[in-house]
Amino acid sequence: MPEKRRIGVMGGTFDPIHNGHLVAASEVASALSLEEVLFVPTGKPWQKQEVSSAEDRYLMTVVATASNPQFKVSRVDIDRPGITYTVDTLTELKEQFPDADLFFISGADAIAQIIAWKDVDAVWDLAHFVAVSRPGHKLKLPKAPNGAISELEVPALSISSTDVRKRVGEGKPIWYLVPDGVVQYISKHHLYGS
Ligand code: NAP
């Protein structure tokens, strides 16, 4: 039997995508021997308002990942109407990649929220979960089947989207926190009060 493909599914609002996300994806891909990582910008985030348009977040993600052949971007969440639930994301991707093992990667807090969601039992059959966190971030993940979630500390995740947005609003530089093309996209499209 040929070995199954191993595909990372990097879920996030990416408002904006930053270098911490890119380092996290690269670290997980290396640690878990993933063939590729599919970045999936959220369509309408769960319990969140006031985010940039899905199209802006999608395009920034495309710009940020363009130079890495191992990174791809999927529109599944932004093209599906309604609020984004991870169970729907993974069900759709499982149909697109029936022969692959999926590894859903996201922030540890986001994974805790997904687990707290009502349809959670369905997700364990769809993917393995990888919770990435910044150093010193203590988190108690709710109950999950044995081995269903891996955790990985990523120092570069001290960068956060909230901080990037705040810096733009205050006229501070964001060079080297986000890829150059994302700095230019934010400025060109006047995002975050730039
Ligand atoms: P969030 O609550 O905005 O993020 C929580 C924390 O995780 C933040 O510190 C955030 O930092 C970080 N984070 C988010 N995505 C990350 C990623 N891919 N890699 C590393 N750190 C990440 O989370 P969100 O962005 O709205 O949602 C993340 C994913 O979980 C999405 O795919 C979303 O659809 C899914 N989700 C699903 C449900 C559900 O099914 N009920 C509920 C919540 C989230 P930054 O702000 O710097 O990214």
Of all protein residues, the one whose alpha carbon is nearest to atom 22 of ligand 1 is 107
State which ligand 1 atom lies nearest to the alpha carbon of 10: 18
What is the 145 CA–ligand 1 centroid distance (Å)?
21
- What pLDDT was estimated at residue 47? 78
Write the CA distances from 13 to 45, 58, 147, integer angstroms: 7, 9, 26
Contact (Cβ atoms closer than 8 angstroms) between residue 70 and residue 29: yes
pLDDT at 50 over 70: no
Phi, psi of 44 (to 5 degrees): -110, 105
Residue 122 corresponds to which amino acid? A
Q: Which of 15, 49, 106 to mutate to test the pocket of ligand 1 (most atoms within 8 A of CB)?
A: 106
3-state secondary structure of 92: helix
3-state secondary structure of 6: strand
Would you tell me how many other CB atoms lie within 10 Å of the CB of residue 37? 24
Contact (Cβ atoms closer than 8 angstroms) between residue 102 and residue 129: no
- What pLDDT was estimated at residue 122? 86
The residue with greater pLDDT, 6 or 136, is: 6
CA atoms lying within 13 Å on the CB side of residue 98: 1
Q: Omega before 155 cis (within 30°)?
A: no
What pTM was computed for the model?
Answer: 0.96
Least confident of 10-14, 58-62, 114-118: 114-118
- What pLDDT was estimated at residue 147? 86
Q: What span, in angstroms and rounded, lies between the C-alpha atoms of 115 and 161?
A: 23
Residue 179 corresponds to which amino acid? P
What is the 76 CA–ligand 1 centroid distance (Å)?
16
Least confident of 120-124, 135-139, 147-151, 187-191: 135-139
